Amino acid sequence: MSGVAAARQPLAWPSNSLSEVPFRLYTDPAQYRLELERIFKGPTWSFLCLAAEIPRPGDWVATTIGETPIVVARDQAGGLRAFVNRCAHRGNLLCIERRGNAERLTCIYHGWSYALDGRLLSVAFERGVRGRGGMPPEFRKDEVALPRLRVAEYAGLVFGTLSAAAPEFEDYIGPEIGAAIRRVLNRPLRLLGRSTQVLPNNWKLYAENTKDAYHASILHTFLTTFRINRLSQPARVFIEESGGHHFSQVKLDYAAEDADYRREQLRADSGFRLQDPSVIEAVDEYGDGVSVQILGLFPNMVLQQIRNTIAVRVIRPKGVDRTELDWLHLGFESDDAAMTERRLRHGNLVGAAGYIALEDGCVGGFVQRALAGHDDGSGIVMLGGHEAEAEPPRASEAAVRGFWKKYRALIGN
């Protein structure tokens, strides 16, 4: 086997099990390149943007799938289009801003212009200057276009795939995951704000973290102190058959919690109290008692509802040991001023400096630092057994094993 061919082979696992994960998966550059090809360019659907970010004809946003730059645009007929953000001429980045509005997109390097569906419209000096130069007769603009993606909109979220082999989006996520998305995003969305956080670790460490309910009551003191998420609370975990998608839900007795606030401002098991309990005071806006829902779509999106803060988290690989995490904080067009204020207050729980999410932002870096010095062996992911099926207790790593089930099916080992 040649060196090039060998470099494209996935890392070997210690067994066919999902409960022993080789540490080198987080540190090996060749494995990372394989992931970009077989997962992000493979038969998967990745989150691209919110439909609310491009409401008008001509609106466009620049985003990514894996490390591939992508443009999503609203064409003049109102349809959604997506294509690779790379000029067909010399490979220059076509859209260098994050968003804009235009009738056509023009490359700053040599002035080639494209329609909002990726078709080439014009070439600067195509006929030359004063009869000299220009493109040869055999050049045809109608044979040149930017590589296009398949696009799907679901509950105000826009997804794309680079693969013709990917199933239709709703088949990809399945009915249970679809219902859980629509449970939260059940009316027109409004973007309240966004932020980007740089994580000094491999993208898979954060993806695993969002599927791991086990760590929540151990790592996040704020969660247990203020009774936002405890393993003893009524809960449900669902793992889609392929293993890649999941959601977990936690219920809260809102009436009892409100009585505690009225009686003593805040109940806690420690000596800590909040001077301003409004940062977690919530209303049951969905009428089902679910106060926390964390939903992960393989490979790059998390939808969260924590009390009344709603956000989409987007995982963007930027190298074997670097990840960008985008936070899109959401409300609804029908929200009144009081609900918007409540969502913004609850937004202090998450994000780069959130009372909860702060630890998630650094613990992956701790793992990466430890592996940098010694990446032999495998991590043990056996809590709750060896399978990737939902179980009643949340003291389980079944959803993490589900991630690796989907991962291995795509990587091919």
Per-domain residue ranges of the chain: 46-151, 174-411
For the stretch 85-121, pLDDT in tens is 999 999 999 999 999 999 999 999 999 999 999 999 9
Give the model's pLDDT for residue 264.
42
In terms of pLDDT, which residue wins out, 195 or 278? Answer: 195
Worst-scoring range by mean pLDDT, 224-233, 298-307, 335-344?
224-233
For residue 150, list its beta bridge partners.
161
**Best CA proximity match to 165, nearest among 77, 3, 43:** 43
Determine the pLDDT at residue 93: 97
Per-residue confidence (pLDDT) for residue 10, from 0 to 100:
86
Which position has the higher pLDDT, 253 or 198?
198
- Does residue 277 register a pLDDT over 50? yes
Residue 230 has pLDDT above 60, yes or no: no
pLDDT of residue 9: 77
Given a cut of 50, whether residue 4 has pLDDT beyond it is no
Each residue of 324-362: b (16+ CB within 10 Å) or e?
ebbbbbbbbeebeeeeeebbebbbbbbbbebbbbbbbbe
In the prediction, which pLDDT does 253 show?
A: 63
Per-residue pLDDT at 7 exceeds 80 = no
DSSP 248: E
The 10s digit of each residue's pLDDT in 130-187 is 888 999 999 999 999 999 999 999 999 999 999 999 999 999 999 999 999 999 999 9
Q: What is the CATH number of domain 46-151?
A: 2.102.10.10
Predicted pLDDT at 224: 65
- Mark out the alpha helices in 161-253 (DSSP H runs): 169-173, 175-184, 203-210, 216-219, 221-225
Residue whose tokens read 């247990």: 224
- Give the Cα separation of 259 and 54 in Å (integer): 43
The band of 261, judged by pLDDT with boundaries at 50, 70 and 90, is very low
The answer on pLDDT for 3 being more than 80 is no
Q: What DSSP string runs through 340-376?
A: HHHHHHHGGGSSTT-TTHHHHHHHHHHHHHHHHH---
How many whole angstroms separate alpha carbon 381 and alpha carbon 314? Answer: 24
Residue 209 Cα distances to 148, 205, 214, 294, 330, angstroms: 32, 6, 9, 11, 22
Decide if pLDDT at 204 tops 90.
yes
Per CATH, the number for 174-411 is 3.90.380.10
Instruction: Name 91's Cβ contacts closer than 8 Å, sequence gap at least 6.
Output: none
pLDDT value at 250 more than 70: yes
Average pLDDT, the chain: 89
- Is the pLDDT score of 286 beyond 90? yes
pTM of the model: 0.90
> Would the pLDDT of 351 be above 50?
yes
Q: Report whether pLDDT(348) > 70.
A: yes
Same fold, 46-151 and 174-411: no
State the pLDDT at residue 27.
97
Mean pLDDT of all residues in 202-231:
77
More confident residue, 373 or 293: 293
CA distance linking residue 17 with residue 400, whole number of Å: 13
